[in-house]
Structure 1
Amino acid sequence: MTTPPPRHLRRLPGQNALVTGASGAFGNATMAVLRRLGVNVVGIDLKPAPDVIGCDITDDEQVRQGVTEALERLDGRVDLLIHYAGVGPAVDIGRTPDAHVHQALEVNLLGPWRVTAAAMPALLRSRGRVIITASLLSGLQLPFAGAYTVSKRALTAYADCLRAEYGTHIGVTTVYPGYVDTPIHDSSRATGVALDGLVPAERERDTVMSVVRAAGARRAPRDVASTALGTVGLRLFRHFPGTTEQIVSLQVGLLLADGAFGDAEIARGLHERHGHSPVRPDAS
């Protein structure tokens, strides 16, 4: 006999969901959990897979076609739109915006905007729910994460505006994961400025279940962090931004004094501005 879902998830069976970034770590796991809860799920992603439609969310026409196909598979109804698609390039915020910056804005901000707009008629018909995955980094300014931080903070503003204009007919939730070890960090690792160890790590499951609980809640929660510590951080970043900046500045200074990012070309200027010489691996 099938065990019924917990009370706070009982609204989910029989609903239809569309997930962006569906082939990624969060998206794939979320689709699996939703299916086990009886949700009909279709995903879109650059990488097509079973039940995942190939779609570049930076392309208007592909989004229109991808969402149309998804709706056809879902019999024209979508109750949940869950956004995970994202990129995390490492950039120097003091330099002219390059292709990595444009990609971050296109994927992290304009991608969810495009997909939501394409799905909006269906969401309004079903009085559905949009769940937008932002990041605690939207309020925490770490070195070389500027493109990601700017795009994710703008994404939170988009969610707030969406709620203000459409909140009478759809629910809008913003989820704020912390640092989770997923392939999104491959770019910063390759550049030599990974965030590993700079902030407390969370589990993939923390984010996935926060999203699922938000989807199953009787009323759409406004803002959700993935962990108790993340909730504390979210409040700190919002209500005490000056204190947050001082903490980050102190931590960065200590890390640089200890040779952090020493072999990364992108970090040379930061070392110089802090009065430190980069520590090279072959230094004696």
Structure 2
Amino acid sequence: MTIRLFDRRQDPRGRRVLITGASGTIGRSLGERLTRAGAHVVGLDLRPTGDEPFTVLRCDLTDDTSVTTAVAEALDTLGGLDILVNNAGIGGPAPAELAPGDEVRRQLEINLLGTWRTTAACVDALVAARGRVVMVTSRMAVMQLPLAAAYGASKRAMVAYADALRLELATHVTVSCVYPSAVRSPIHDSTKAAGLSLDGMSVYEPLEGVVDTVERAALAVRARRDLPTTRKGAIEFFLARHLPALTDRIVRKTLAARAAAGSFDDAPLAAGVAARHRSTP
């Protein structure tokens, strides 16, 4: 049987891994898996639970000093760095038609600038080890959904940052982007509370598949540039990249159906969307 090069993985034993958002749904599961496989894992998180089966350091990704201090401690603990997984991220309601407020700034600060800060603090160690950066982005980095402009913008900007990083570090470090669709986790709580649930706009996928794809991105013998996490995600990724007008029509049709069903009637942030669809013949 022929094994494709993209399916071959490096031995995780002894690999030095740093994961941001390590106490959350994806980060914790990934850290547990890599630790069981023999990797040396340290995590960063704003609120470590204290019961993770690997070391997690408290770190505020919005604070320059906190990031510099925590990364330095992590690198000292690991003795270097082979793999950085930028997994930390938050979501929340943010219609594009409304002026940006604290919610928008919070998402950009963590999803984009937090990733940037952490990576910059790790660059020297990654170059020395000829390591790898894995960005846990989102399907919304290529296919925007309505009423969540900040999340999509932050994740698309994260990919742009990854592209620049890939070019600058290409002689020594590889950079891969992973594109999950939606996983059931607390990241969606604030959106649901605002009456803007992803239900009907997105299909939740199993956590295990997302973690497997991130692990594959981290350990593949030959680094992949872009990795959707499901077959459906791969189709959406292709359509969004190559047939964006078709993708727009599909999303608009879905949005119109949700508005017609009254999904946004009790959501003040979606009042404009609901009103415009009611007034459309």
Instruction: With the length of structure 1 as denominator, give the TM-score of the two structures.
Output: 0.92
Measure how far apart 1:255 and its partner are: 1.1
Q: Distance in 2 between matches of 1:141 and 1:78?
A: 33
Asked if the contact 2:183/2:204 (under 8 Å) is kept, the reply is yes
Q: Distance in 1 between matches of 2:186 and 2:31?
A: 18
Structure 2 alignment gaps of length 5 or more = 1-6
Question: 2:124 aligns to what SS in structure 1?
Answer: helix
Q: Distance in 1 between matches of 2:10 and 2:103?
A: 41
Tell me which amino acid in the other structure corresponds to 2:15: Q
Q: Distance in 1 between matches of 2:199 and 2:183?
A: 9
Asked if the contact 1:12/1:215 (under 8 Å) is kept, the reply is no
1:82-112: per-residue Cα shift (whole Å, max 9, x none)?
A: 0111010101211211001001111000111
Q: Distance in 2 between matches of 1:8 and 1:261?
A: 46
Moved over 4 A (4+): none
Measure how far apart 1:275 and its partner are: 2.0
Measure how far apart 1:141 and its partner are: 2.2
1:154-200: per-residue Cα shift (whole Å, max 9, x none)?
A: 00111111111111110100000011111100110111111023122
Question: 2:75 aligns to what SS in structure 1?
Answer: helix
Q: Distance in 2 between matches of 1:9 and 1:238?
A: 27
Identity %: 43
Asked if residue 201 in structure 1 is aligned to residue 188 in structure 2, the reply is: no
* Residue 83 of structure 2: aligned partner: 80
Asked if residue 60 in structure 1 is aligned to residue 64 in structure 2, the reply is: yes
Q: 1:119-130 residue pairs with structure 2 within 5 A?
A: 119-130=122-133
Asked if the contact 2:200/2:258 (under 8 Å) is kept, the reply is no
Tell me which amino acid in the other structure corresponds to 1:26: I
Q: 1:245-260 residue pairs with structure 2 within 5 A?
A: 245-260=248-263
| RMSD over equivalenced CA pairs, Å | 1.3
Aligned length in residues: 270
Asked if the contact 1:20/1:45 (under 8 Å) is kept, the reply is yes
Measure how far apart 1:276 and its partner are: 5.6
Instruction: With the length of structure 2 as denominator, give the TM-score of the two structures.
Output: 0.93
Q: Distance in 2 between matches of 1:276 and 1:82?
A: 46
Structure 1 alignment gaps of length 5 or more = 1-6, 278-284
1:98-149: per-residue Cα shift (whole Å, max 9, x none)?
A: 0010011110001111000001110000000000011001122222110000
Tell me which amino acid in the other structure corresponds to 1:156: V
Q: Distance in 2 between matches of 1:244 and 1:139?
A: 10
Asked if the contact 1:132/1:175 (under 8 Å) is kept, the reply is yes
Asked if residue 236 in structure 1 is aligned to residue 239 in structure 2, the reply is: yes
